[in-house]
Chain A
Amino acid sequence: NAGVMQNPRHLVRRRGQEARLRCSPMKGHSHVYWYRQLPEEGLKFMVYLQKENIIDESGMPKERFSAEFPKEGPSILRIQQVVRGDSAAYFCASSPRSLAGPYEQYFGPGTRLTVT
């Protein structure tokens, strides 16, 4: 059973470009979470999604950031018009469908975004 997959693992963008980060959850998992980790800092929750629904986006910046988890395909975190401050590691995690959750989350290897 493959774990959580993220791609690309490393992404370099110039200021003003768009960054698209992809996350495929573990098989059987229908909940996806995105976190950002700045150098030498802790994980910051960004958004929690189920298929075709955003459940909690309280950690998402109000502008330039968006996330989706379509019925088919991976979850996408999209950052428009990137700035240097967006440089960070972006981790995706997944968990099973909650009946009596919450369940622990399993993390992907992360995407390291560098904005030049």
Chain B
Amino acid sequence: RKEVEQDPGPFNVPEGATVAFNCTYSNSASQSFFWYRQDCRKEPKLLMSVYSSGNEDGRFTAQLNRASQYISLLIRDSKLSDSATYLCVVNPGFGNDMRFGAGTRLTVKP
């Protein structure tokens, strides 16, 4: 089983749609969780951290379910500029190491 698993997509949605991505992780000792965004042929950039109580940043909401070992990202009112690959990132529980999921590709269409 992979350490971090994501549905690769692609998700093709119209502008204004709400879309949700899930990510599961295998190490129950994992402590920290993040969502990164990667545009084509660019470096990954931090989108948001994921806190135990859940957190929201504008149109983006992240949730953590430790019991089921998954995190989610919800994007409301999708914009064309949201088109990217979204990477789920998990700290496996020691040091500063991070493990990246393979990413979920989102395309928002007019």
Most chain A CB inside 10 Å of its own CB: which residue of B31, B44, B96? B96
Total A residues in contact with B, Cβ cutoff 8 Å: 25
Selected from A89, A102, A109, the residue in CB contact (under 8 A) with B98 is: A102
Number of residue pairs A-B, CB distance < 8 angstroms: 58
A104, CB-defined interface residue at 8 Å:
yes
Residues from chain A with a CB closer than 8 A to the CB of B72 are none
For residues 28 through 46 of chain A, which have their beta carbon under 8 Å from a beta carbon of chain B? 31, 33, 35, 41-45
- A56-B97 in contact (CB<8A): yes
User: Nearest CB to that of A94 among chain B residues?
Assistant: B96
Residues from chain B with a CB closer than 8 A to the CB of A106 are 46
Selected from A42, A56, A95, A103, the residue in CB contact (under 8 A) with B100 is: A42
Residues from chain B with a CB closer than 8 A to the CB of A69 are none
A56 to B34, CA, bound (A): 20
Selected from A41, A43, A102, the residue in CB contact (under 8 A) with B91 is: A102
- A55-B95 in contact (CB<8A): yes
- A108-B95 in contact (CB<8A): no
B75, CB-defined interface residue at 8 Å:
no
Residues from chain B with a CB closer than 8 A to the CB of A109 are 42-43
Q: Least Cβ distance of B105 to chain A in Å?
A: 10
A95 to B98, CA, bound (A): 11
Residues from chain A with a CB closer than 8 A to the CB of B99 are 45
**B interface residues (Cβ-Cβ under 8 A, vs A):** 31-32, 34, 41-46, 49, 87, 91, 95-103
18 contacts between A and B (CB under 8 A): A33-B97, A33-B98, A41-B102, A42-B101, A42-B102, A43-B100, A45-B100, A48-B96, A91-B43, A102-B91, A102-B97, A102-B98, A103-B96, A105-B46, A105-B96, A106-B46, A107-B43, A110-B43
With A44-B100, A102-B97 given, name 20 new contacts (CB 8 A): A33-B96, A42-B87, A42-B101, A43-B87, A45-B98, A45-B100, A48-B97, A55-B96, A56-B97, A89-B41, A91-B44, A101-B32, A102-B32, A102-B95, A102-B98, A104-B34, A104-B46, A105-B96, A107-B45, A108-B43
